[in-house]
Amino acid sequence: MPTNEDLIDKYMNARGGRLVPGNDELARTVAYLKWRANGNIDVVRQTFPKLPHIHFDIFDSWDANAIAFKYGQVYFIGVSRGIVGLLGVMFDRIMGDKSLLDFLGDSSKERESMPNIPLGPDFVNSMKEVEIFGQPIDPMRHAVAQRMKDLAFDFVFAHEFAHIANGHLDYWSDRYGYSEIQELSESSKIANVNQNWVRQVIELDADRTGVFMTLSSELGKVLGHSSRPAEPVAGLYDLPSIILQLWCISVASVARLFGDDLLEAEGSPIPLYPSWRLRSIGMQRMAHRIVRAGDFPTRLKWEDLNIPDSILSSTYHYVEEIFSKISGMPPVTRGLLDATSERGWKRTSQLDEIWTKLRPDLERFAYVALHE
C-alpha cells in the first residue's frame, strides 16, 4: 500500500522532483518554509476545522512556478525552488541598495555598487550574468529584507492554499477532469473559452485570498491582536503606513516578476491566465476593501490607522521605479496602462460578473468561507 509520501513523490517525480537539499543552508531554508506553510494552514484551521490535511514541499525546478494538486484523497501544494530563489535575491537586492527605501535602517552602511538584475520568471535566466552579492549589511535592512521575503512567500503559498481551501481544485477536477492547478505552463493543454474564463476568475480569487491572509495578518500585528516579529523590525509595527507600504511592495513585486504583460490582442480568444497587471489591480482592490471597508475580522477601520488613502496605488508605481533601479532598465508601464484602460476595467467587471455566478458552485467544494 503506497503511503501519501509515496504518492506525492510519484506525482512530483513526473514534474521535476522534490527538492533534496544538498547543503545545510538549503536544508535550513526548506525547513523554515515548511514551518511557515504549515503555520499558515494551522491559523486557518482554527476558524475552519474541517480543512483537510494539506502537504507542502518544494519542487526542484528553477521556473517561478507553484502548483496545487490532489492525488487520490491527498492534497498537496508545491512551490518551485525558482520562486524561493527569486524572492531571496529580489529583496536582498532592494534592501542592499542604499538608494532604495533609504528611510529604513542605516542605508549608508550598504555597498557602493550593486549588480543589475534582469528579473523575470526564471531564476537561472535572471541570474546567469549577475555577480554574486551578499545580503543587506545594516541589521535593520537585513531584517526588513527577510520580512519581505516572508510576506511574498506567504502570498504565493496562500494563493495555492486558496486553490484547495476555496474549492477551486475540486471544482476544476469535477467539472473539467484536471486534478492539478499550475501557475505556469498549462496554457498549451486547455483551449476551451468558457473554461478559460472560469480559470481566470479562479486565479483572481486565489490572489484575493493571498491578499487577505497576508494583509490581515500584518494589520493584526499593527493592532496588537497577534504577536509581532522580533526586533529590529518589531518597532515598525507602531508605524502602520510603513507596514502597509512594505506589504504592498512585497506582494506587488511578486506580480511584477512576471513582467508588464498586456491583455490578449483584440479579437483573440481569452487566455487561461489573467494578465499579471490585471491581477495587480485586483490585489490592490482587495487591499483597499480590507483596510477601508472594515472587511477585516477585528473590525479595523481605515480611519483608525490615519494613513492617506492613496498609499496603496502610489506604492504600486513605486514598485515600477524599484524594478527599473534594480534591473538598470527603463520603467515599463504599457501593460499597466492597458489594465487600467477602459478595456481593462471592462475586463475586470466581466470577471466580477462571472465570479458572482461561479461562487455558489464553488461553495459546494469549499472548506472555508468564500470572499464576496
Whichever of 84 and 206 has its CB closer to Zn ion, that residue is 206
Given the rule CB under 5 A, which of 113-121, 206-214, 230-238, 350-358 is the region that contacts Zn ion?
206-214
Q: Judged by CB under 5 A, which of 37, 79, 84, 206 binds Zn ion?
A: 206
CA separation for the pair 142, 150 (Å, rounded): 13
Taking 3-state DSSP, the helix, strand and coil percentages for the chain, each rounded to the nearest 5, stand at 60, 5, 35
Nearer to Zn ion, 87 or 101 (CB): 87
Q: How far apart are CA 78 and CA 282, in angstroms?
A: 24
Neighbours of 363 (CB within 10 A): 13
Cell of 268: 483573440
In the complex, the smallest distance separating the C-beta of residue 15 from Zn ion, rounded to whole angstroms, is 16
Residues 238 to 267: which contact Zn ion by CB under 5 A?
none
C-alpha cell belonging to residue 58: 518544494
The interface with Zn ion within residues 55-74 (CB under 5 A) comprises: none
Beta strand pairing call for 66-71 and 180-182: antiparallel
Cβ–Cβ < 8 Å for 162, 206 = yes
Stretch that binds Zn ion, among 92-100, 202-210, 224-232, 312-320 (CB under 5 A): 202-210
Q: Is it true that the peptide bond before 232 is cis, omega within 30 degrees of 0?
A: yes
Nearer to Zn ion, 210 or 240 (CB): 210
Mark the segment that binds Zn ion (CB under 5 A) among 105-113, 205-213, 262-270, 318-326. Answer: 205-213
Question: Which residue lies nearer to Zn ion by CB, 138 or 170?
Answer: 170
How many residues line the site for Zn ion (CB under 5 A)? Answer: 2
**Going along the chain, which residue ranges are E strands?**
54-59, 66-71, 74-80, 180-182
Smaller CB separation from Zn ion, 114 or 251? 251
From 37-45, 52-60, 198-206, 260-268, span contacting Zn ion (CB under 5 A): 198-206
Q: Give the binding range for Zn ion (CB under 5 A) out of 149-157, 200-208, 221-229, 303-311.
A: 200-208
Identify which range of 199-207, 272-280, 300-308, 359-367 contacts Zn ion by CB under 5 A: 199-207
167: left (phi over 0), alpha (psi -120 to 50) or beta: left
87 binds Zn ion (CB under 5 A): no
Q: Identify any residues that bridge with 273 across adjacent strands, giving them in sequence order.
A: none
Report in angstroms the alpha-carbon separations of 273 from 193, 202, 278, 345, 347: 12, 9, 10, 17, 13
Least Å from the CB of residue 67 to Zn ion:
9
C-alpha cell at 173: 477536477
Cα(71)–Cα(4) distance, rounded to whole angstroms? 9
Smallest distance from the beta carbon of 359 to Zn ion, in angstroms?
A: 17
Closer to Zn ion by Cβ: residue 185 or 341: 185
Beta carbon of residue 120, minimum distance to Zn ion (angstroms, whole number): 19
C-alpha cell at 291: 483596510
- How far apart are CB 163 and Zn ion at their closest, in Å? 6
Binding footprint of Zn ion on the chain (CB under 5 A) = 203, 206
